Amino acid sequence: MSNKYWGRGLEDEFYVRLKEAGLNVSRPTNISTGSEDTFRGKKFLHLPYTVKGMDVSFSGILSNIEKQAPHLISSKQYTPEDLCYSLQETIFAMLVEITERAMSHCGSQAVLIVGGVGCNLRLQEMMNIMCEERGAKLYATDERFCIDKGAMIAQAGIEMFQSGTTTPWDLVTCTQRYRTDEVEVTWRS
């Protein structure tokens, strides 16, 4: 995968790759939080699904859909919303499967969903169905608690400072939506 996609969510990479394939698709508003674009998708396209034990492989999903998308959309067999829906359902099914396996191995009766994708209502719904079937409890929150937090940002700053990475005060800026997954890790070799 090209470095130009690093630090982007899977939905961002999907959109960019469709645009690069020459498709005239409008930008999904935010697939990762369960936007209307993914909820409007009705027709499911089977995509590569690779789960081995506790390992998942997402390689092949985007290239598969990217390869098929021009024909599927131009022939009106599928809409961009259908493809977004299929991507979301496939990836979330893989996550639910490995979560259930982890619960079984650990004897856990609870799942806590965190992180940006933890806001996604469909992921919460799918996890909740699995939890109910196991007699377990799902703990999920809204976007107030599922984005990069100040403590995470502060820890990244401490790691950078301790490794000798500093920024002169006159070059310091503030970014409200600073993402810790976009930080260049210089403190580990």
The pLDDT assigned to 145 comes to 67
Average pLDDT, integer, range 111-125: 86
Kindly report the average pLDDT of the chain as a whole number.
79
In a domain, 172, yes or no: yes
* pLDDT at residue 4 tops 80: no
Q: What is the CATH number of the domain that holds 76?
A: 3.30.420.40
Q: What's the token pair of residue 37?
A: 């674009």
In a domain, 143, yes or no: no
The pLDDT assigned to 90 comes to 93
In a domain, 134, yes or no: no
Same domain, 98 and 11: yes
The pLDDT assigned to 138 comes to 97
* pLDDT at residue 134 tops 80: yes
Helix count and strand count (H, E) for the chain: 6, 4
% of the chain exceeding 70 in pLDDT: 72
In a domain, 177, yes or no: yes
Q: Name the CA dihedral angle for 150, 180, 154, 168, rounded to a multiple of 10 degrees.
A: -120
In a domain, 130, yes or no: no
Residues 12-53 pLDDT 10s: 565 666 666 655 555 444 444 555 555 577 899 999 999 999
Please give the model's pTM, rounded to 2 decimal places: 0.66
Domain that holds residue 170: 150-182
Same domain, 104 and 155: no
More confidently predicted of 15 and 142: 142
Residues 71-99 pLDDT 10s: 999 999 998 888 888 888 999 999 999 99
Q: How far apart are CA 82 and CA 103, in angstroms?
A: 31
Q: How many domains does the chain have?
A: 2
How are beta strands 55-57 and 110-113 bridged, if at all? unpaired
